[in-house]
Amino acid sequence: MLTIGSYEAKTHLSDLLRKVGEGERITITKHGVPIARLVPFSDGPNIDLDQVVRDLKEFGKEHSLGGLSLQDMIHEGHKY
């Protein structure tokens, strides 16, 4: 991943966009502190978080923990 200062990023924006278009990820810093990241655009699937929660609740209705509570499992995990 390329890291570049904000002034230089402004000066070379066209070149940076070309690199991002080729798949490179670029971190932009200001006084050495990361402030932004240029990443290739992804037109991936939009996730409906409300639907994910509904699906998890439905999954929980159909599956059990065999009588164990979450607290029991945590306690059991601490034994090892």
DSSP 20-62: HHTT--EEEEETTEEEEEE------PPP-HHHHHHHHHHHHHH
In this structure, is residue 28 part of a structural domain? yes
**Number of C-alpha atoms within 13 angstroms, CB side, residue 11?**
5
Specify the pLDDT at position 64: 77
Specify the pLDDT at position 72: 82
Q: What is the domain extent for residue 22?
A: 2-38
pLDDT tens track for 30-79:
999 999 999 998 877 778 888 999 998 888 888 777 777 878 888 877 87
Q: Is 70 exceeded by the pLDDT of residue 80?
A: no
In this structure, is residue 11 part of a structural domain? yes
In this structure, is residue 29 part of a structural domain? yes
CATH code assigned at 22: 3.40.1620
**Global pTM value:** 0.54
In this structure, is residue 44 part of a structural domain? no
